Structure 1
Amino acid sequence: MRQRGKWILVSLLLVGLLIAVWGGYKAMTQSLHPKKPLIIYIPKSIDPSIEFWVVMQQGVMTAAKEFGADIRIMGAETEVDVEGQIRILDEAIATKPDAIMLAASDYIKLVPAATKVVNAGIPLIMVDSDVQGDLSRSFIATDNYEAGRKSARLLKEHVNPDEKIAIVSYIQGTGTSLDREKGVRDELEASGFTNINHTIFSDGQVQKSYEMTRDLLLKQPEIRGIVALNEPSTVGAGKAILNLGLQSKVSLIGFDNSNSEIRLIDRDVIQATVIQRPFNMGYLAVKTAVSVIKGQKVDKVLDTGSKVITKYNMYTNENQKLLFPFEDELPEK
């Protein structure tokens, strides 16, 4: 019996030793290869034809590789699908990620879902488009109000104060469209430009922008200037002007950049476009999210800036990098 008791004691000691060794091995492995934080990125749209979101995703994935984050992309097919984005955000919360990065499709309607993120204890990083209220840990975006004023200042170089102006926006109710339109109207009205049409909305679709702008120009041939507030709206408005042969009569100021916009600038259909830095937005959003997860202090707002591109400056080395961003062109912050 004594011999048997010794063997039992030795066996228990060996089992304890093995457990201790295994625990130490796991701890050492985790310290050498820590688990990557899971960040869910929810853009307004995953439509691959909209270059703005494609470039932002490049920035997201570049930063994820650099800062050691696991990125899961969840998004609606179109920017106008606000209810779809709300459902996706609810699904993201249920996943219990380490952080969520959101480009809100609607400034007001996304507030309840964004509040759920905060109440669940998940850090919320807003990118490109915010929601009402102080819900996010950080907001990374263009100063859209100032960018709207910038586009209006460009239009004033081509249109007289008494001439009629149209605004082609995209999604009614999204924070970026509200800020840009307000910037455009404030700048024009402050300079005595009061003959401004009611804004038309393209729903972020090139074809709808084309049809609505063409119809508007046929019904109101006195229009002499158009400000279009995002990439699809700009491309559609440009195609309408080109189709009607009005490029010498109607001046167009656009937003964002794409190959289609560059071609329209080259053909003198677009006089200028105000471009953002979507690569930087995506990169800085991930960098900020990782910092928040680590408990580090981050900036409440990061303005990624905007720049004017015309036919006369788009071929400079600096602007080529902005028009065609690459992974090695990383933001300074």
Structure 2
Amino acid sequence: MFMSRLTVVAYTFGILCFLASCAFSVFYGYKVVSHDLPAEDQTGEKYNYHFVLVPEELDNDYWRLVEEGAKKAAEEHGVLLEYAGPRQANIDEHLKTIEMSMASKVDGIITQGLSDEQFTPLINRVVEKLPVITIDTDAANSDRMAYIGTDNYYSGFLAGKALIEDTNGQANVAIITGNYYANHQQQRVQGFRDAVESEEGITIITVEESEISRVRAAEKTYQILTDYPEVDAFYGTSALDAIGIAQVVDKFRKQNQVYIIGFDSLPETLKYISKGTIQATVVQEPYEMGYRSVTMMIDLIEGKKVSPVVHTDTRIMRAADLLKRKEDEWEAGR
């Protein structure tokens, strides 16, 4: 009898544990999904519009700056802004987020443009129901309403001209690009190629893909230096590429043996410029892109005229420029 009661107690306890585990799993699963995909506002707060910003990847430092600018504009204009997309660059997850955003009946979608083959048909379908703005990377062949961001071909051309100037037109260059399929990465490579094409002393040895990962960029750099010992210059076309390149060069080569030019002004990039490992970087304006994309979307919805292409500022930053910027900030803070 005692054993029977003990069995019933143990059985009951097991059921309760199972139910508690299920409840936790459902709650946790909801939290994960709601982080990745757009959801209706649950706070009860009133807002004028509901937008979704779909980045290349959620946890990328560059895209966090875009998000920061977009959220600032959203706060100022009474907009509910959701930041949703793939945790790591993935075209299928990116497209899925756009489709689910459309299904959730948001007022507008702000998204990085992707390769024409998969991206354009979807955007054309979305635009029939709600406005779409591309940001950072255009999709010029689609029916998107407007684009705001870098002129990526021009920025690649600037990088090529900077390399020519800094190396006196003598370099064996390896290019590490974020990925092969993205329009903006292709344009940055092509602009660079066109800038150095007429320079007899510059040879592009190889082009490798980092998959938008500093770890992968570092792995590719090590392999390139092993396979092509003649390489004495690197061009990284995404925000994390130059950082990965610099990590390897810092460890295995002397600073004055390898020239590095990259993209963006992330804190780690600036650290390597100050140190002398990275010689130059192409500076974009991700915060401005994010901020202005929200105000442009509001203008579109309210029937105001919006330019179909808005290029944000792009420039080259070297150590001397960084030092001047720090001096200006110090003077402004006095």
Could you say whether these structures have the same fold, taking a TM-score greater than 0.5 normalized by the shorter chain as the test? yes
Is 1:87 aligned to 2:99, yes or no?
Answer: no
* Alignment equivalent of 2:106, drawn from 97, 100, 115: 97
Q: Counterpart in 2 of 1:267?
A: 275
Number of residue pairs matched? 285
Judged with a 3 Å threshold, the aligned counterparts in structure 2 of structure 1 residues 185 and 252 are, in CA distance, closer, same or farther, namely same
Alignment equivalent of 2:126, drawn from 86, 92, 117: 117
Q: Take 1:292 and 1:34, find their aligned partners in 2: how far apart are those partners?
A: 21
Shift of 1:105: 4.0
Task: Kindly state the Cα deviation for residue 192 of structure 1 after the two structures are TM-superposed.
Answer: 3.2
Q: Is the 8 A contact 1:273 1:309 kept in 2?
A: yes
Quote the residue 2:222 is aligned against: 214
1:267-323, CA deviations, whole angstroms, 9 ceiling, x for partnerless residues?
Answer: 1110111110000000010000000111111111111111211111113348977xx
Asked whether the equivalents of residues 261 and 280 of structure 2 are also in contact (C-alpha less than 8 Å), the reply is yes
Moved over 2 A (4+): 104-109, 157-163, 190-194, 315-321
Which protein has the bigger helix share? 2
Q: Who is 1:290 aligned against?
A: 298
In 2, the alpha carbon distance for the partners of 1:320 and 1:172 equals 39
Separation in structure 2 between the aligned mates of residue 45 and residue 319 of structure 1, nearest angstrom? 34
Q: What is aligned with 2:54?
A: 42
Counterpart residue number, 2:266: 258
The answer to whether structure 1 residue 304 and structure 2 residue 332 are counterparts is no
Q: Which structure ranks higher in relative contact order (CA pairs < 8 Å, sequence separation ≥ 6)?
A: 1
Larger radius of gyration, structure 1 or 2? 1
Q: Secondary structure at the match of 1:217?
A: helix
Question: Residue 71 of structure 1 corresponds to which residue in structure 2?
Answer: 81
Amino acid at match of 1:288: M
> CA shift at 1:159, angstroms?
2.9
- State the 1:107 CA deviation: 4.1
Structure 2 residue corresponding to 1:128, chosen from 125, 136, 147: 136
CA distance in 2, matches of 1:38, 1:220: 51
TM (norm. structure 2) is: 0.81
Which letter does structure 1 place at the counterpart of 2:93? G
CA distance in 1 between counterparts of 2:201 and 2:297 reads: 43
Change (3 A) 1:248 1:131: same
Measured in 2, the distance between the counterparts of 1:228 and 1:319 equals 28
Partner of 1:181, secondary structure, is: helix
Structure 1 SS opposite 2:257: coil
Aligned counterparts of 1:298 and 1:56: Cα–Cα separation in 2: 20
Q: Secondary structure at the match of 1:108?
A: helix
Taking a change above 3 Å as real, the CA distance of residues 134 and 88 of structure 1, as seen in their structure-2 partners, is closer
Q: Unpaired segments of 5 or more residues in structure 1?
A: 1-32, 322-333
Q: Contact 2:50/2:80 (CA < 8 Å) preserved in 1?
A: yes
Unaligned runs of 5+ in 2: 1-44, 330-334
Q: CA, structure 1 residues 270+35, in 2 after alignment: closer, same or farther (shift >3 Å)?
A: closer
Give the CA deviation at 1:186.
Answer: 0.2
**TM-score of the aligned structures, taking structure 1 as reference length:** 0.81
RMSD (CA atoms): 1.9
Deviations 1:200-259 (A, max 9, x none): 010000000001111101221111211111111111011111111232111001111111
Per the alignment, in what secondary structure is the counterpart of residue 230 of structure 1? coil
Secondary structure, counterpart of 1:195 in structure 2: strand
**Distance change (3 Å), C-alpha of 1:318 and 1:275:** same
